[in-house]
Structure 1
Amino acid sequence: MSRQILIVFALGWCSLATLCADEPHSDAAESVGGMIRVLPSGKRPHDARLGELKTLNGHFPFAVPANPAQWYSRAESLRRRVLVATGLWPMPERAPIHATIYGKVQRDGFTVEKVSFESLPGHFVTGLLFRPSDSSLAKRPGVLSPHGHGGRNQAFTDDELATQLNSGGEHFAASGRTPKLARCAQLARMGCVTFIFDMLGYCDSVQIPFEVAHRHADVRPVETESTDDAWVFYSPQADLRLQSVMGLQTFNAIRSLDFLASLPDVDADRLAVTGGSGGGTQSILLGAIDDRIKVSFPNGMVSTSMQGGCYCENCNLLRIGTGNVELAALMAPRPQAMTAANDWTSAMMTDGYPQLKWLYAMVGNADDVHCRPLLQFPHNYNYVTRATMYSWFNRHLSLGLDEPIVEGDFTPLSVAETTVWDDEHRAPTSVGPQHERAICRWWDQQSRTMPGIGMSIAGDNLSEFRSVVGAAWQTMIDGELPIDVRYREVRSQQRGGLNFSMGLVTAPARGVELPVVIIRSESGASATGRVVVWTDGLGKSAILKQLTDSRSLLRQIVAKGDTVLLPDLFEQGEFRDDGVPLDRQRRVDDARAYSAFTLGYNPTLVAHRSSDLLAIIKYAKQVGADQVVMIATGGSASYAALAAAIAGNVVDHAIIDTQGFRFAAIDDWQDANFVPGAVKYGDMPAILALRAPHRLTVIGERDLPVLVEQVFKAAGASKSVDSKANVDANLIEEFHR
């Protein structure tokens, strides 16, 4: 007889005083507060996830993989994570750059021009273009310079400038007052065409206010008033579609690189990026996802400590299981340098930089990564740091200049010379919430070009659906069948013709410990070779109550001779002191309401629970069965369907009761079922469709979702999917045919 595992996820909550109604309770299944326990009362599982949540101020070490093959695999998943998190998977349409360049002014050795262009319809990027002043016809390297917080025109006060001059942080009273423009001027003198573009809310980037992009704290009325037809940044609707200020700035950086590469005097094969602080964060991300960048100098943010404290440096999903040093490593083997200062980068020389050197030595050249210790200075991109950058770019952009390169002074630029919008070039009128809604609407329309989301699935785009939508869900959940799963029995007993084993399933690599109750025939063996794993949104006790009813689904499954395994998943049952499962995402201790400060660093409850189910599936498979059947009912569909999709052919039949659940109905990011990006990537129908071509029965839907039918048909597996009204005793006969 073919051996099967039935994995069942289901039902409601009810106390159970005893395992079987006709026998007394014993220590083997302690019942406290209506909850059947594996562990003694008051003791919770030894699970690493019960500790404090990760915050942007945590420790983010970089563990270098053992060999290049492992790194390349890791790098591919990390690049996908950056793109998914920033809302750029797949990349939105990049229309031709029709930039306006005007207002040229001349300085000694360089010129400055004003620039504006649309990165997307109706949204303008502004900045200043620095060019060498000589008339050489040779194409020149292009340098993109995201300025960081303070704006491109940020100027020291007299007192601040005096401090900088006294410390050696700056050398000139004139150009040193505006250090961000100083680096652009010097790069132009060195022969580089340099574009410094405005971050959102700074200088001439007026469409999204500074306070919204960088100082947003409390939930705005326009966020709570958002609907599925019109929404703004920071709203649940935006989060469910992975639309963020950080994502928009990342897209603006890509479009700025498009602009720079399109210039007739720029060598598109010699492009570099450098920015400090928040501009360093943008430099890290651009180097990670855009291989046109050949040299990088991301300063002030390559660190295993603080990861970026601004809204524009945080988005959901980005740094789960990773951090800025590893993200910076995605530049490898392309040349990259930075400095360490007396700030959150101070430990880089011993924690971060050695690991980068090791990686570069493994996949390229150890000399192509460099970190200069400048611990005598606070957080900066000062004259000394800039000198390090100039030398790095001279070498790796093949500028051929004599060393050392000494930055020169220049006459400061006036307000009029640096202001993009004027009487002839009017500022855009689409601003504020109206503009946010327009951007979000455009972004959503772009997402609808994905197969299965905005277009039908046929055989010719099935693989794209899987590689785009499926890969996105894999990134959002970050779940896979674990390699090492173990079971430790705590106690056992026989009662009512059944054998009960109470124990813990562990996944050591994840630090996971899951309480389970296993029910077998009295002999301790499975008469059918099947193991039934049954879970519920409220934990194992909600299922165990069925033992008191001889007509229940659980009783009938056991009567057939199947083994039943009932787990508590993360924050269910024995994870909770009162036994009541956590029904809201925990949030970090941060007064700011934005979801990304929590879910940019920590997995969602859905991710945790789907990964737990994968561990349970692996254990059930590990005990010897060669066929898996999964059933999900009673509110478990959000994570059980994901586990079934990820498990693939390890689960031969998945039976999912969705109860009509849709992520789109969630209006609070702390909801237990909230998953950033869930709506963008097709909601529950897409998850169910990703189960194809393996057997699927859908329950709880009025009709089988069209996407599910299309994907199974395209996979040549139309007969592998069906729908039923409910889960009842008749289903058992199907299991046992």
Structure 2
Amino acid sequence: MELQQTIQATNIDTCALQQAFHQLILDRAAAFSPSAWETTQTDKLRQQILDQIVFRGVPEKWIHHQTRVEQAETIQTGNHYEIQKVRLEVLPDLWIPGLLYFPLKSLDPEPNPESRIPAVLSVNGHIGYPGKSTGFVQRRCINLAKRGIITLHLEWFSFGELSAPNYKHNRLAYLDLCGVSGLSVFYLAMKGGLDLLWEHPQVDRKQIGMTGLSGGGWQTIMLSALDPRITLVVPNAGYIDIANRLAHRGDIGDLEQNPTDLIALSDYTHLTALLAPRPALLIYNEQDDCCFVADRAKPAVYDPIRTVYALIDDIDNESTFAYHKNINPGTHNYDRDNREQLYRFLNRHFAPRLIQDQDIPCESEIRSFKELVVGLPEKTANFRTLASDFMENFEEVGSVGEGSLKDILCFQESEVVETQLEGNADGAGGQLIFDNGLIAPICEFRPAIGSEIETILLIADQGMEATIPDLTDLLRAGRSVIAVDLFLTGQAVPAEMSTSQVAMLISTVGLRGLGLQTAQLCAIIDWICQRYDLPQISILSRGRTTGIVAELAAQLCPHRVADLTTQDALSSLRDLIDNEMEYENCPTLFCFGLLQHFDICPR
């Protein structure tokens, strides 16, 4: 009972930990300065993002894969447009279903059969199982087709026909673990849709727009910023800057929205600046019940970029770079008001002028999920199969050189700078404060009788309270025990965020959660040895994450670790993929490129 009381009485200030975490992120995020922005550098930044972020570790055969299009059934609607069902192979064996809404009635009073017409790439967000059959998506695509615009709407991973578990967005981490950018799969999927429109004989290449809500808004900013073939851009509630993501957990999103190292190079403010000089309308919603509330988004990603557009000659800044705050209904939506903002913007910038700005009623034309199923080949890849293919080609790896391991972990040396402990000779609790501001709760216990045999450092994924049985056994055996909650274990989680959200934000600014945990453990080991004048200590870990952290620390400071025992640990990092483990349950283990160079050594 005394053990439990000591542990339960050991609390840390998670708000102070949150502040330290925020500072860690903000210090490493790329800052945007409107006055320092140089339009001549946009191509360079685009290429850096593509080379260093999107296509990092990606094989050439993926990057240069020519999108293959298969056409399935065509639905004759009888309403001056048809719906062509298509499948796109966007990288080898990975197929994306799509619907091509094709206008059959020209708006030109004297149509030229050889003339080309505008096109829009329409993309899904996080809209649930219906995917591309969602009502507001169909209304938008039908309206665009009736305005004489060829519209391609793509299914998105985890929804509709791609709703199988191994299309879950955060399972892109399987590829990251193998040293292959998981973001690339998302990018190549939407690029494949653009390729289809670009090669279509009736599409005017000078008039290709892109739009989507939520994750579709994210897709819109990501592809449009990096591929100038998109000539008009309308993201709806799709993104915000890193400062707002820190302050509002609902703005964080999934792993593709916080890809490894992106924000160290370019925040979403930079991506918005990359849209210039093309027409762009940023739509946000007044009382968005999901994310990116309008009054937060405008000063973050719209106002700073007005300066960038103002630097460009020969454009009307106000009409070319526009902002709309939706009030009715003001929630997370692409309903009538937002759709009409899209039509109005298209009318302003795509020539010839189309028809009315108002939504065209089409309720009787909305089709069921079943009617819009495209179908997929029997063999189609997913995040798990793609990662498994890379794993098969890895040689058996164990330990690697210290320098290489530190590079993979983005390792930064750390040290304990302050100790706060309260208690007596038998047991004490408190916290350790590190030079980077992070905090770790700690408890010290000594055996009640007899002399100490050795000192054991005890760490566990679930925190100190989960180690009470181990503590009891070790103390009875005459061992002194020091129990610590490493960063993102037990109590040591910043307030108001999940461990997976913290981990992805750490990675997107160029650090690694696993690197911070390992550096922290190395610092704790060194602190214990100095405090008690010990040449070495032993470590007992319980859990997947702390087991790997202990293995890494033992490799980086072998002179300090006498013995390592891991309980409930992985047998190999490959288990993360082979057993389809969720990123959310052990996010720091999905460290970019770790499996490519390191795995657990048999002991």
Whether the TM-score (by the shorter chain) exceeds 0.5 is yes
Deviates more, 1:336-345 or 1:656-665: 656-665
Question: What SS class does the counterpart of residue 342 from structure 1 fall into?
Answer: coil
Q: Please, which runs of 5 or more residues in structure 1 have no aligned partner?
A: 1-31, 55-59, 156-178, 217-231, 457-464, 492-501, 517-538, 555-565, 620-629, 689-699, 703-724, 726-737
How far, CA to CA, are the matches of 1:51 and 1:631 in structure 2? 30
- Given candidates 593, 599, 602, the residue that maps to 1:681 is 593
How far, CA to CA, are the matches of 1:314 and 1:588 in structure 2? 22
| Aligned CA distance change for structure 1 residues 141 and 632 (closer, same or farther; 3 Å) | farther
What does 1:396-411 align with in structure 2 at a 5 Å threshold? 398-399=350-351, 401=353, 405-409=357-361
Could you say which residue in structure 1 is the equivalent of 2:333?
A: 380
Q: Report the TM-score, using the length of structure 1 for normalisation.
A: 0.50
| 1:17-40 Cα distance to aligned partner (Å, 9 max, x none) | xxxxxxxxxxxxxxx969xx9xx9
Tell whether 2:30 aligns with 1:93.
no
> Residue type of the partner of 1:258?
D
Tell whether 2:18 aligns with 1:65.
no
Asked whether the equivalents of residues 123 and 211 of structure 2 are also in contact (C-alpha less than 8 Å), the reply is yes
1:255 CA displacement: 2.4
1:611 CA displacement: 5.0
Asked whether the equivalents of residues 92 and 443 of structure 1 are also in contact (C-alpha less than 8 Å), the reply is no
Deviates more, 1:609-618 or 1:112-121: 609-618
| Aligned CA distance change for structure 1 residues 351 and 194 (closer, same or farther; 3 Å) | same
Bigger-Rg structure (1/2): 1
Asked whether the equivalents of residues 151 and 199 of structure 1 are also in contact (C-alpha less than 8 Å), the reply is yes
How far, CA to CA, are the matches of 1:631 and 1:90 in structure 2? 44
1:409 CA displacement: 4.8
| Aligned CA distance change for structure 1 residues 326 and 376 (closer, same or farther; 3 Å) | farther
How far, CA to CA, are the matches of 1:568 and 1:418 in structure 2? 51
Could you say which residue in structure 1 is the equivalent of 2:384?
A: 440
RMSD of aligned residue pairs (Cα, Å): 6.7
> Residue type of the partner of 1:253?
M
1:308 CA displacement: 7.8
Question: What SS class does the counterpart of residue 324 from structure 2 fall into?
Answer: strand
Could you say which residue in structure 2 is the equivalent of 1:337?
A: 282
How far, CA to CA, are the matches of 2:500 and 2:387 in structure 1? 19
What does 1:277-292 align with in structure 2 at a 5 Å threshold? 277-287=214-224, 292=229
Could you say which residue in structure 1 is the equivalent of 2:520?
A: 612
How far, CA to CA, are the matches of 1:50 and 1:124 in structure 2? 44
How far, CA to CA, are the matches of 1:633 and 1:576 in structure 2? 13
| 1:469-521 Cα distance to aligned partner (Å, 9 max, x none) | 998x45xxx76568xx8945779xxxxxxxxxx9965445xx424689xxxxx
Asked whether the equivalents of residues 44 and 574 of structure 1 are also in contact (C-alpha less than 8 Å), the reply is no
Question: What SS class does the counterpart of residue 65 from structure 1 fall into?
Answer: coil
How far, CA to CA, are the matches of 2:187 and 2:176 in structure 1? 16
How far, CA to CA, are the matches of 2:304 and 2:259 in structure 1? 20
Asked whether the equivalents of residues 213 and 245 of structure 1 are also in contact (C-alpha less than 8 Å), the reply is no
How far, CA to CA, are the matches of 2:341 and 2:362 in structure 1? 20
The alignment of Structure 1 onto Structure 2 pairs a total of residues equal to 510
Asked whether the equivalents of residues 234 and 281 of structure 2 are also in contact (C-alpha less than 8 Å), the reply is yes
> Residue type of the partner of 1:399?
A
| Aligned CA distance change for structure 1 residues 588 and 634 (closer, same or farther; 3 Å) | closer
Structure with the greater relative contact order (CA < 8 A, sep ≥ 6): 1 or 2?
Answer: 1
1:145 CA displacement: 0.6
- Given candidates 120, 126, 129, the residue that maps to 2:97 is 126
| Aligned CA distance change for structure 1 residues 372 and 399 (closer, same or farther; 3 Å) | same
What does 1:270-281 align with in structure 2 at a 5 Å threshold? 270-281=207-218
Asked whether the equivalents of residues 123 and 155 of structure 2 are also in contact (C-alpha less than 8 Å), the reply is yes
Could you say which residue in structure 2 is the equivalent of 1:512?
A: 438
Could you say which residue in structure 2 is the equivalent of 1:353?
A: 298
Could you say which residue in structure 2 is the equivalent of 1:314?
A: 254
What does 1:529-568 align with in structure 2 at a 5 Å threshold? none
Could you say which residue in structure 1 is the equivalent of 2:574?
A: 664
- Given candidates 170, 182, 193, the residue that maps to 1:256 is 193
1:194 CA displacement: 1.7
| 1:404-451 Cα distance to aligned partner (Å, 9 max, x none) | 734445695485999466xxxx944638xxx67x763244325778xx
1:601 CA displacement: 6.3
Identity of aligned residues (%): 16
1:197 CA displacement: 1.9
Question: What SS class does the counterpart of residue 341 from structure 2 fall into?
Answer: helix
Could you say which residue in structure 2 is the equivalent of 1:430?
A: 378
Could you say which residue in structure 2 is the equivalent of 1:389?
A: 342
> Residue type of the partner of 1:99?
V
Could you say which residue in structure 2 is the equivalent of 1:180?
A: 137
> Residue type of the partner of 2:271?
L
| Aligned CA distance change for structure 1 residues 443 and 671 (closer, same or farther; 3 Å) | closer
What does 1:4-83 align with in structure 2 at a 5 Å threshold? 42=9, 44=11, 46=13, 48=15, 65=31, 67=33, 83=54
1:354 CA displacement: 0.7
1:196 CA displacement: 1.0
Could you say which residue in structure 2 is the equivalent of 1:9?
A: none
How far, CA to CA, are the matches of 2:122 and 2:221 in structure 1? 12
Tell whether 2:483 aligns with 1:580.
yes
| 1:615-647 Cα distance to aligned partner (Å, 9 max, x none) | 89999xxxxxxxxxx9998778944887899x9
| Aligned CA distance change for structure 1 residues 513 and 147 (closer, same or farther; 3 Å) | closer
What does 1:230-245 align with in structure 2 at a 5 Å threshold? none
How far, CA to CA, are the matches of 2:183 and 2:30 in structure 1? 27
| 1:105-142 Cα distance to aligned partner (Å, 9 max, x none) | 47666554232233345553222213454445355444
Q: Please, which runs of 5 or more residues in structure 2 have no aligned partner?
A: 107-111, 311-316, 398-402, 422-429, 472-481, 528-535
How far, CA to CA, are the matches of 2:598 and 2:395 in structure 1? 15
| Aligned CA distance change for structure 1 residues 321 and 76 (closer, same or farther; 3 Å) | same
1:385 CA displacement: 0.8
Question: What SS class does the counterpart of residue 518 from structure 2 fall into?
Answer: helix
Asked whether the equivalents of residues 517 and 549 of structure 2 are also in contact (C-alpha less than 8 Å), the reply is yes
Tell whether 2:150 aligns with 1:193.
yes
> Residue type of the partner of 1:198?
E
How far, CA to CA, are the matches of 1:659 and 1:363 in structure 2? 57
Asked whether the equivalents of residues 146 and 199 of structure 1 are also in contact (C-alpha less than 8 Å), the reply is yes
How far, CA to CA, are the matches of 2:149 and 2:375 in structure 1? 29
Could you say which residue in structure 1 is the equivalent of 2:533?
A: none
Q: Report the TM-score, using the length of structure 2 for normalisation.
A: 0.59
| 1:506-561 Cα distance to aligned partner (Å, 9 max, x none) | 445xx424689xxxxxxxxxxxxxxxxxxxxxx9989xxxx978xx999xxxxxxx
**Bigger share in helix:** 2
Could you say which residue in structure 2 is the equivalent of 1:371?
A: 323
How far, CA to CA, are the matches of 2:549 and 2:60 in structure 1? 27
| 1:445-474 Cα distance to aligned partner (Å, 9 max, x none) | 25778xxx4799xxxxxxxx99xx998x45
How far, CA to CA, are the matches of 2:522 and 2:500 in structure 1? 26
Asked whether the equivalents of residues 103 and 114 of structure 1 are also in contact (C-alpha less than 8 Å), the reply is yes
> Residue type of the partner of 1:296?
V
How far, CA to CA, are the matches of 1:348 and 1:213 in structure 2? 31
How far, CA to CA, are the matches of 1:208 and 1:346 in structure 2? 23
| Aligned CA distance change for structure 1 residues 289 and 347 (closer, same or farther; 3 Å) | closer
Could you say which residue in structure 2 is the equivalent of 1:137?
A: 114
- Given candidates 87, 98, 102, the residue that maps to 1:116 is 87
How far, CA to CA, are the matches of 1:99 and 1:393 in structure 2? 27
1:318 CA displacement: 3.2
